[in-house]
């Protein structure tokens, strides 16, 4: 399914989202990429090698555009293991 011709097309989103949603989305991306969950691992294994880096870059870009890079780093320093709120 991932090899369908249309799956490599770039999709542009122009939807505004709240800063708290950007923060949550970036956290979900980071935690999802480091997850040991079998479905996520299998999906990432089927993707090109640079996919993980691109997703991490996307999360960082969203944080930067929302002005949340420093806040995100501070939140991570309070909870380095990434558990809880």
Instruction: Identify whether 50 is part of a domain.
Output: yes
Residue among 3, 66, 42, 4 at smallest CA distance from 27: 66
Interatomic CA distance for residues 63 and 51, integer angstroms? 18
| Gap between the Cα atoms of 80 and 60, Å rounded | 18
Does some domain include residue 49?
A: yes
How many domains are there within the chain? 1
Q: Are 62 and 25 in contact (CB under 8 A)?
A: yes
Q: Which residues of the chain have pLDDT under 70?
A: 1, 80-85
The answer to whether residue 41 sits within a structural domain is yes
Structure confidence at residue 13 (pLDDT)? 82
24 inside domain: yes
Q: Please state the pTM of the whole predicted model.
A: 0.77
The domain in which residue 47 lies consists of: 19-78
pLDDT recorded at residue 46? 86
Among 20, 38, 39, residue whose Cα is nearest residue 85 = 20
């Amino acid at each position: 399914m991932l090899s369908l011709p249309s799956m490599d097309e770039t999709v542009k989103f122009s939807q505004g989202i709240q800063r708290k949603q950007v923060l949550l989305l970036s956290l979900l991306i980071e935690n999802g990429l480091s997850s040991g969950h079998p479905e996520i691992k299998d999906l990432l294994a089927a993707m090109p090698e640079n996919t993980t880096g691109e997703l991490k870059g996307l999360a960082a870009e969203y944080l930067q555009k929302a002005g949340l890079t420093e806040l995100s780093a501070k939140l991570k320093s309070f909870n380095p293991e990434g558990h809880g709120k």
